[in-house]
Amino acid sequence: MTGEHAGSSIRLETERLVLRPYFDDDIPALVTLAGAREVAATTLRIPHPYNEQNAREFLAQCREDASLGPETRFAITLRSDGQLCGGAGFRLDPAHHHAELGYWLGVPYWGKGYATEAARAMIRYGFENLGLHRIYASYLSENVASGRVLRKIGMKREGLLRAHICKWDKFHDLEFYGMLRSDFIAG
Ligand SMILES: CC(C)(COP(=O)(O)OP(=O)(O)OC[C@H]1O[C@@H](n2cnc3c(N)ncnc32)[C@H](O)[C@@H]1OP(=O)(O)O)[C@@H](O)C(=O)NCCC(=O)NCCS
């Protein structure tokens, strides 16, 4: 994986993926892929239903954030043909030198190891390029695939908040995982 800083044109490259900032041309694919009920069902910040206006607002927010600090939101695209297949991002808290990692893949791209590959690239970017001290992530406890991704990238389980999230009129436990810079360096 390599990361290049070039203003907002930073790209994180892995064996099969390129993570890059979003472009307006991504809007139709975003609406289709992020708009799937299966994707919204286990995420906390993707509205559902998801329309073109939601995508435009999201892209505007990404650009505003990137104008104020480092790039933190990436489109996950296939290296082979440039197709958008998902998204990954950090919510930075500079005061504490930490960030929350989030990611999603479009349903047709599940089960191919892409989330793991993208999350690994984000971890490396966070520690090596952003100088973070800690990266953490959380997921609804029934989202076993997400838990598997976090364990595969080397995060440690830190705890569970019982019935912490009310999603679509149902309460869900929230699992917390994290990694310190020292964990990353130790490999
Ligand atoms: C969670 C998500 C990102 C996983 O993406 P993905 O590209 O399919 O993940 P990967 O292929 O890298 O890894 C998934 C792992 O979970 C495992 N897995 C998937 N479904 C599973 C299930 N029902 N039970 C047990 N393991 C499961 C896979 O086998 C794989 O592990 P393995 O490599 O050991 O076989 C994807 O399902 C998604 O986008 N879901 C909706 C949005 C979301 O939940 N985002 C995360 C919010 S915290």
- What domains are there in the chain, each with its CATH number? 2-186 (3.40.630.30)
Report residue 27's pLDDT band, with 50, 70 and 90 as the boundaries. very high
Which residue's C-alpha comes closest to atom 21 of ligand 1?
145
Q: Is the pTM for the entire model greater than 0.85?
A: yes
Estimate the share of the chain in helix, then strand, then coil, as percent rounded to the nearest 5.
35, 35, 25
Q: Is 73 helix (H, G, I), strand (E, B) or coil?
A: strand
Distance 107 CA to ligand 1 centre (A): 10
Q: How confident is the model at residue 2 (pLDDT cuts 50, 70, 90)?
A: very low
> How much is the average pLDDT of 162-177?
98
Angle of the 52-68 helix axis to the 27-34 helix axis, nearest 10: 110
> Ligand 1 mean position to 152 CA, how many Å?
11
* The pLDDT of residue 7 is above 60: no
The DSSP call for residue 136 is E
Specify which residues 136 forms β-bridges with: 100, 178
Q: In ligand 1, which atom is closest to the CA atom of 110?
A: 8
Residue 185, helix vs strand vs coil? helix
Assess whether pLDDT exceeds 90 at residue 9: no
Q: How far is CA 113 from CA 24, 30, 117, in A?
A: 27, 20, 6
Average pLDDT score, the chain: 95
Q: What is the DSSP letter of 79?
A: T
Question: Is 14 a pocket residue for ligand 1 (Cβ < 6 Å)?
Answer: no
> pLDDT at residue 6 above 80?
no
Which pLDDT score, from 0 to 100, does residue 5 have? 42
Contacts of 91 (CB under 8 A, 6+ apart): 72, 99, 100, 102
Separation of CA 123 and ligand 1 centre (Å)? 17
CA-nearest residue, atom 44 of ligand 1: 42
Phi, psi of 169 (to 5 degrees): 70, 20
Tens-place pLDDT, residues 126-168: 999 999 999 999 999 999 999 999 999 999 999 999 999 999 9
pLDDT band at 8 (very low <50, low <70, confident <90, very high): low
Dig out the tokens for 77 from the structure.
């695209």
- Check pocket membership of 31 for ligand 1, CB cut-off 6 A: no
Q: Mean pLDDT, to the nearest integer, of 51-77?
A: 97
